Amino acid sequence: MTIQLTHFSAAFVFALFASIVFGITHRETTRDMVRYGLYCFAMFLGGALLAGWAMWLVRK
Amino acid sequence: MANSSPAKTKPAAAPAQPTSMMSVIAPAVGWLIPGAGHIIQKRWIRGLLLLVSIGTLFVLGLMMQGHIYKANGGDILDMLGFIGDLGAGGMYIVTLAMNGGQGAIAFAIADYGTKFMIVAGLLNFIAVADAYHIAIGKKA
Structure confidence by residue, pLDDT tens digits, B55-109: 999 999 999 999 999 987 778 888 999 999 999 999 999 999 999 888 777 788 8
The pLDDT value given to residue B18 = 62
How many residues are present in chain A?
60
The stretch B129-138 carries a mean pLDDT of 95
Using CA coordinates, name the residue in chain B closest to A26: B130
Residue numbers of A between 24 and 53 with CB closer than 8 Å to B: 24-25, 28-29
To the question of pTM greater than 0.95 for the whole model, the response is no
Residues of A in contact with B49 (CB under 8 A): 20, 24
SS3 assignment, position B80? helix
How many structural domains is chain B composed of?
Answer: 1
Average per-residue pLDDT for chain B: 88
The pLDDT value given to residue B1 = 44
Q: Number of helices (H) and strands (E), helices first, in chain B?
A: 6, 0
Do the domain assignments include residue B12?
no
Do the domain assignments include residue B112?
yes
Rg (CA), chain A: 14
With bands split at pLDDT 50, 70 and 90, how would you rate the model's confidence at B17?
A: low
Do the domain assignments include residue B3?
no
Q: In the predicted model, is pLDDT for residue B8 greater than 90? A: no
Residues of A in contact with B46 (CB under 8 A): 24
Q: Per-residue pLDDT tens for A25-54?
A: 999 999 999 999 999 999 999 999 999 999
Do the domain assignments include residue B92?
yes
In a mutational test of the A interface, the residue from B105, B122, B123, B134 whose CB has the highest number of chain A CBs within 10 Å is B123
Taking the CA atoms of B106, B109, B115 and B120 in sequence, report the sign of the dihedral they define: negative
Do the domain assignments include residue B33?
yes
Do the domain assignments include residue B8?
no
